[in-house]
Structure 1
Amino acid sequence: MNRSFLLVLTLVLVAAPASAWGPRGHRLVAELAAAALTPAARAQVDLLLRGEPEPTLAGVANWADELRANDPDLGRKSAKWHYVNIGESGCEYVAARDCPNGDCVVEAIRTQAAILADRAQPLAARRQALKFVVHFVGDVHQPMHAGYAHDKGGNTVQLSIPDGTRDGRGSNLHALWDSGLFRDLGESEARHAARLRALPEVVAGGTDPAAWAQESCAIVQRPGVYPPRATLDPGYIETWRPVAERQIALGGRRLAALLNETLGD
């Protein structure tokens, strides 16, 4: 590697957030869910988000990733709630082994959904729980967030992505799945959402976040997800973008199902 490539790679790795999907991906999950809410669930969402700067599911979809800067204590407390490492276990989720103290995305969804469903809870607690649920359902559908512990969900798998320059762009596998697959899409968020909404209605796993995590992990283990070389084949993005988009679409539909179940009359 030459010096310029190492510099670019270092900057990308330092700057890249340890999040699932980029801001667009999380907003898309939320937008798709909002369109499928029942009237009862929509009324509760409107009540809980009243007073927010952008009082919509999409408007709060990235709140949990912004805690590092806006609320460091809660950011540290919730850091492990964004993912679960089950790749080394054959993608089988076992709570006692994979989620000690409930600190993983599977149990975080369950815990926060229970708070959200409890009308005896203070409004502020339920509002926070809703923000967490919206974000974490997106997280669990990003395959790298249910993958391997040994490479930190693909964060240590360094890549060079050809972009017409001599050195290409430095990145890592996790960041590629977060947002790199959509980097050059050239499509507005609204058009993207409409296209994902039209994907075939294929939903498996019900409203069980453990099943969602296991399904995401299975994608990580498909041949070709881990590139054979550090320099990415241009065909990689064309191959795996539809898989990532299907995960976003599933996340939106499943988030709607969970909110309808949790917030219904």
Structure 2
Amino acid sequence: MSSETLLLIGRETAHTPEVFETHADRLARRGVVEEVFTTTYESEPVRELRSQLREIPGDRVYAIPMCVAHTFDTVRDLPAALSFVSGSVQYCEPIGRMPAVTDVIVERATEQVRAGSEVSLVLVGFGSSSKPYHRQMVEYHAARLEEGTEYGEVLACYLVQDPAVECIGYELSNDRAVAVPLFLSRCEATKHRIPEQLESDGIAYAEPFGTHPRITDAIHAELEKQRALADDGSFSFEDRLTATRRPVATDGEGPE
């Protein structure tokens, strides 16, 4: 009988170990697969993780990038690093575009300001100057929140693309507003850069998603989705990434 493993993998910050391990422990207790592992890297996934990844057990390994949307790392370097896993890798989509994440946004926002027609909800994403993934994730939640909550308006802004977070105060139609950073873990941007830029506009500020139980549910849902796709023989965008991205031997990173 084949065995399955879940791997939660992502870039390391001061708070990611706590966040990753909390979700991993919950999923292990649920018995979703035989084993659950976490691993992080600082800047070079292939160089830093290849030895660890060779030791990951399981005939099928579900690798979930622990971020809210695809990044340069997750579409290039992580798929290459996962080639060192001995089992069959089912590379998963980041968890940002999950209904459970919308629930977390609502809870984080209402912890600060109760929803109402006189209150604006601001979603703060990282953004990208060249890739659409973060904008698509933010727009997904904005559409759901506009339809399913009582906030008077839902606005989106970003750190590295327009509309910029430092300008969002000029777009508000209401005197009261709350901003939710669409980030998995606390980092320099969520602790300092974003709140400092919003403070002058009097916008209340919520916490990132962190260890919220509904994020565990989102990870579990992505696992089940990928399990169904694998059993059905479907071929996803993430499958294409792991099929085409490989370490280059001339760079000293290829298979030994």
Please, what TM-score do these two structures have when normalized by structure 2? 0.31
Return the structure number with greater helix share: 1
**Radius of gyration: which is bigger?**
2
